[in-house]
Amino acid sequence: MRTLDNWTTNVPWILSCSSDPELRWRSAMTRSVMQNLDRHLWRSRITTKTKLHLCRVFILPIMLYRSECWTVNKADIQRIDAEDQWCLRRILDIRWHNCVRNVDIRRITNQPPLSSIIKSRRLTFFRYLARMDENADASQAVFAPPPENWRRPPGRPCTTWTKNIHDDLSSLDLGLHEARDLAQNWPLCRLMFLHSATHS
């Protein structure tokens, strides 16, 4: 039986760690790269389709690195999607004074919101955890209840990674352990999680 010290040492990111510093750092790096490429790439004469492909290949990995482990709240999701919109407008060379709505940007580019991509990555990561050996530390961290005498450290945010997963699964009417059983059926689980991410 793992002790309280081992439990809190092995799974700090599961408990209640804010991803705000990581989000700000990733957002700043993404904007810097986008601005550096503005003159030579985004304002060039190559097609929009090629620009979007280059963005997916070179820009999104900067923003999405380790995003499957992020703990996000509603404000974080809005900030992530706002960053995504900024990038798409930069690619299309659409400025604020053009008065183009975000919905129209999505229709023109046919790109899913960045928050949906992160949700899909989070559910995919959960699927791997659910298929692990029940005695593995990562599996225990997600599915085993915390010790009875454990309390959330003062000042820690209330949102946790496992709560994000609970919210993701609620759209499928699934609980944590039900989703774990479903994950053993790989093709069906993949289809359901993909549907949940793209129709959130």
Supply the mean pLDDT for the chain.
82
Q: What is the pTM of this model?
A: 0.81
Each residue's pLDDT tens digit, 74-129: 999 999 999 999 999 999 998 878 889 999 999 999 999 999 999 989 988 888 88
CA separation for the pair 162, 143 (Å, rounded) = 9
pLDDT above 70: percentage of residues in the chain: 80
Q: Is the confidence at residue 146, as pLDDT, over 80?
A: no
Q: For the chain, state the CA radius of gyration.
A: 19
Q: Is the confidence at residue 60, as pLDDT, over 50?
A: yes
Q: Is the confidence at residue 162, as pLDDT, over 60?
A: yes
Residues 6+ apart with CB under 8 A from 152: 15, 16, 158
Domain ranges of the chain: 20-111, 119-198
Q: Is the confidence at residue 133, as pLDDT, over 80?
A: yes
